[in-house]
Structure 1
Amino acid sequence: MAPTATAPANPIPTPKVVTRAEWKADESIVTDPPTYGTTVKAFFVHHTAGTNDYSCADSAALVRGIEIYHVKSNGWNDIGYNFLVDKCGVVFEGRKGGIDKPVTGAHTYGFNTDNAAIAVLGTYISAGIPTGVQDAVAHVAAYKLGAYGNDPFGKVTLTSGVEGKYHLGEQVVFNRISGHRDAVATECPGDALYAQLATIRAKAATTANLRLTGLTGTLSGTTYYTRSTFTASWTTITPSNLISRFDVVVDGTVVATAAGTARSASVTVPAGTHTVVVRAAHKIGRVNATAAQAFVVDTAAPTFPQGPTLALRAGQVSGTVVPVTVNWRAADNTGVGSVQLTAPISRTFAASGSYGTTTKPSVATAWSMRAQDWAGNTATTSASWIPIFLPETKATRTGTWSTSTGSSYLGGSALTSTAAKSSLTWTVTARSVAFLATRTSTSGQAEIWVDGVKQTTVDLRNSTTDYRRVMWTKSWSSSARHTVKIVVVGTSGRPRVITDGLVYIG
């Protein structure tokens, strides 16, 4: 007989189902009309215990075979299950009478009335069902239970209608979504599928495993740093068609609402320290929320207390190459995420530091940098520097010096002295300066003086001849006028000093 009461409005959307007409049910063998209960209290999950090695294109034929088996071999009026689903997640209408009605099936002995069931085509003892099939089972279960206000995550007490696993008339507590084995002495729905029922219940009634996966910006420790407008992203294993909406809640106030299909939302929040939670409303009515996430909205751009500055460094000089070190320091009220050197080459660095590289002499080269803070705010800076050669011929000489020529020297010549106390003095306006010399196996030592103060003594001896070598450098925080003096020590047995001048950066 037809159900006597109309089910209340169902909060769960009707699942997509292959109808009996579409899978070509043999209605000629179904001789009696369907019977109905008054509600759906529990939903039982089965497997058909057949092969898993089938093509989903053949699923309708498998369902027809089950119908014929249930009617002709079992002697039932129709296929026993209310629904079936294949390994591709395609749901099929089972016993006739209307998928939205409390049709009484023949699926769970002693518990058929006022309950419904679905069977997964295949055997799931050692391997479980794919995610898409879990989603389909969860949807159908929520649809059938939700129509009568029953929570798929809850429990229900049912009375056994036969003498079987439970005594006739015995009251038994079941999960609203249970396995066939919970009611009948059977292995169905298989160990692996049975172990997945907890996940299916969670999907059918909750926004399961809801997790905030990130905010645009940077996570430092346990806190995100973002700009005023950012994107919050989240995940859940519950299928979207069972979720009503997501709310992004900042400091207890909903600041954005997204559809159940969304997994992110754009949010605008004023500067300061905040907490964010993503809240989800399942169509069954339950609300879940992520753990609270601390974040800081930073609207201030970073600064460069020290932009890119160049200093000379050790190495070999040529007419086209000068070894230099780039120095910088960026700062921010929350934290600098990175500093990029964007010209003349591309590199990424920390907030402050130095980087050894080379540059061209006698040419102004722009050194450009871009700092980005943890929130994504940026600042840029640029400075141009020119390394300049100051040849030995521009120095004021004392003592005895001679000229050496050769293509290995800068400009084709160098000054040589073996006389102790002989000196060369240059006056430069510079922020960095370097002394260039040729090293040989018979070279000696030279003193270096700056502004009348001795800085060091350098030894120019080397096992092989080494031209245009930076033997000493000095840098200052700003450019100023300085005198640099080189004095020949007259080292015993190897007094020679060969100088190739200075290089400086103004």
Structure 2
Amino acid sequence: MHAKHTTSSHPSDSSGALPRRALLGALGAVAVTGAVSRPAAAAGSAIASSRSASASAAYVLLSRQAWGADESLRFGPDGSETWPPDYHPVQTLSVHHTGSANGEANPAARVRTIYRDQTVGQDWGDIGYHYLIDAAGLVYEGRWSGTDGDPAHNAAGRLVTAAHIATYNSGNVGIALLGTFTTSAPTSAARGALVQLLAELATRHSIDPLQQKVGYVNPVNGATWSGPAISGHRDWAATACPGGVLHAQLPAIRADVAALMG
């Protein structure tokens, strides 16, 4: 979660993949550098009409360059990375909200604000999430993971450790929806992109979205946790994140992810 309502540890945690969707394009004043997209994952006929918004449209991913990440913030005065990346196999997927205003006119500016706050203000070396999703359903590449062109992963397909749930970061994918979902729900576009992204990641990493008892073990510090394969931040810690309304939607979201995976 955004520092406004959460505390996360730094990246070290010391205390057949589906094709990616990507848009290396412009947002605001950022220059266009090209675009790549792909169709949605195949959805079975069992998907109910009430789920059509979640299952129909493929998501679009904005690169760090596209949303205007200032990469110099990740480095100290001596030119070294504040928190050098490390990588581990994915064990679980976690959903957050950022605690910011809903429906902001310039979501890329919000992502840049969160990035600066968490990288410099919180001293986490980079943004704490692997992915962020705005109200229009655009997905933003989060934590820097290398130069291989695979967001959140290294060339071997392992997840870069981020900083979104204190003590439980390594091997834990963090996805944050921009906004506050304590009393209001995400837009259908944001929810649809979340389902698409979760389905892609779950397929890629052989995760059962309906599994209720995953035995997570942090490979760095040995911390253990047991809970849903797709969880909310509050399932891990005493926090309001990802908001009561969004958290209450997670069972239906897990079902939509499973249906989309076929």
Match of 1:34 among 85, 88, 104: 85
After superposition, give the CA deviation of every residue in 1:87-121 in whole Å (9 maximum; x if it has no partner).
Answer: 11111000011326111110011211011011111
Identical pairs, percent:
36
The question of 1:108 aligning with 2:165 is answered yes
Equivalent-residue separation in structure 2 for 1:35 and 1:152 (angstroms): 25
Equivalent-residue separation in structure 1 for 2:60 and 2:167 (angstroms): 29
1:20-419 matches, within 5 Å, as 20-31=64-75, 32=81, 33-37=84-88, 39-55=89-105, 58-97=106-145, 98-99=150-151, 101=153, 102-155=159-212, 156-159=214-217, 171-206=224-259, 242=260, 284=261, 286=262
Normalised to the residue count of structure 1, the TM-score between the two structures is 0.36
Equivalent-residue separation in structure 1 for 2:168 and 2:92 (angstroms): 9
Equivalent-residue separation in structure 1 for 2:160 and 2:60 (angstroms): 18
Structure 2, unmatched stretches of 5+, are 1-15, 22-58, 76-80, 154-158
**What is the Cα-based RMSD across aligned positions, in Å?**
2.0
Give, as a single letter, the amino acid of the residue that structure 2 aligns with 1:18. L
Bigger drift between 121-130 and 138-147 goes to 138-147
SS state at 1:21 partner? helix
Q: 1:182 to 1:161 in 2, by over 3 A?
A: farther
| 1:17–1:93 contact (8 Å) kept in structure 2 | yes
Equivalent-residue separation in structure 1 for 2:138 and 2:128 (angstroms): 18
Give, as a single letter, the amino acid of the residue that structure 2 aligns with 1:65. T
SS state at 1:143 partner? helix
| 2:103–2:135 contact (8 Å) kept in structure 1 | no
Equivalent-residue separation in structure 2 for 1:117 and 1:75 (angstroms): 18
| 1:41–1:145 contact (8 Å) kept in structure 2 | no
Larger radius of gyration: 1
Q: 1:54 to 1:115 in 2, by over 3 A?
A: same
| 2:171–2:218 contact (8 Å) kept in structure 1 | no
Equivalent-residue separation in structure 1 for 2:110 and 2:129 (angstroms): 13
SS state at 2:135 partner? coil
Aligned-residue offset at 1:12? 6.6
Q: 1:129 to 1:159 in 2, by over 3 A?
A: same
Equivalent-residue separation in structure 2 for 1:34 and 1:122 (angstroms): 27
Q: 1:108 to 1:100 in 2, by over 3 A?
A: closer
Q: 1:13 to 1:78 in 2, by over 3 A?
A: closer
| 1:135–1:200 contact (8 Å) kept in structure 2 | no
After superposition, give the CA deviation of every residue in 1:225-251 in whole Å (9 maximum; x if it has no partner).
Answer: xxxxxxxxxxxxxxxxx4xxxxxxxxx
Equivalent-residue separation in structure 1 for 2:144 and 2:186 (angstroms): 26
Give, as a single letter, the amino acid of the residue that structure 1 aligns with 2:94. F
Equivalent-residue separation in structure 2 for 1:53 and 1:113 (angstroms): 31
Give, as a single letter, the amino acid of the residue that structure 1 aligns with 2:91. K
Give, as a single letter, the amino acid of the residue that structure 2 aligns with 1:26. D
- Give the structure 2 partner of residue 10 of structure 1: 17
After superposition, give the CA deviation of every residue in 1:311-370 in whole Å (9 maximum; x if it has no partner).
Answer: xxxxxxxxxxxxxxxxxxxxxxxxxxxxxxxxxxxxxxxxxxxxxxxxxxxxxxxxxxxx
Q: 1:148 to 1:78 in 2, by over 3 A?
A: same
Q: 1:35 to 1:161 in 2, by over 3 A?
A: closer
After superposition, give the CA deviation of every residue in 1:391-429 in whole Å (9 maximum; x if it has no partner).
Answer: xxxxxxxxxxxxxxxxxxxxxxxxxxxxxxxxxxxxxxx
SS state at 1:196 partner? helix
| 1:111–1:161 contact (8 Å) kept in structure 2 | no
Q: Which has the higher contact order (CA 8 A, sep 6+)?
A: 2
Aligned-residue offset at 1:169? 5.0
Give, as a single letter, the amino acid of the residue that structure 1 aligns with 2:74. V
Aligned-residue offset at 1:47? 0.5
Q: 1:100 to 1:108 in 2, by over 3 A?
A: closer
Aligned-residue offset at 1:79? 0.3
- Give the structure 2 partner of residue 497 of structure 1: none
| 1:82–1:93 contact (8 Å) kept in structure 2 | yes
Q: Which structure has more helix as a fraction of its residues? A: 2
Aligned-residue offset at 1:161? 8.0
| 1:40–1:144 contact (8 Å) kept in structure 2 | no
SS state at 1:142 partner? helix
SS state at 1:119 partner? strand
Q: Which structure has more strand as a fraction of its residues? A: 1
Give, as a single letter, the amino acid of the residue that structure 1 aligns with 2:192. D
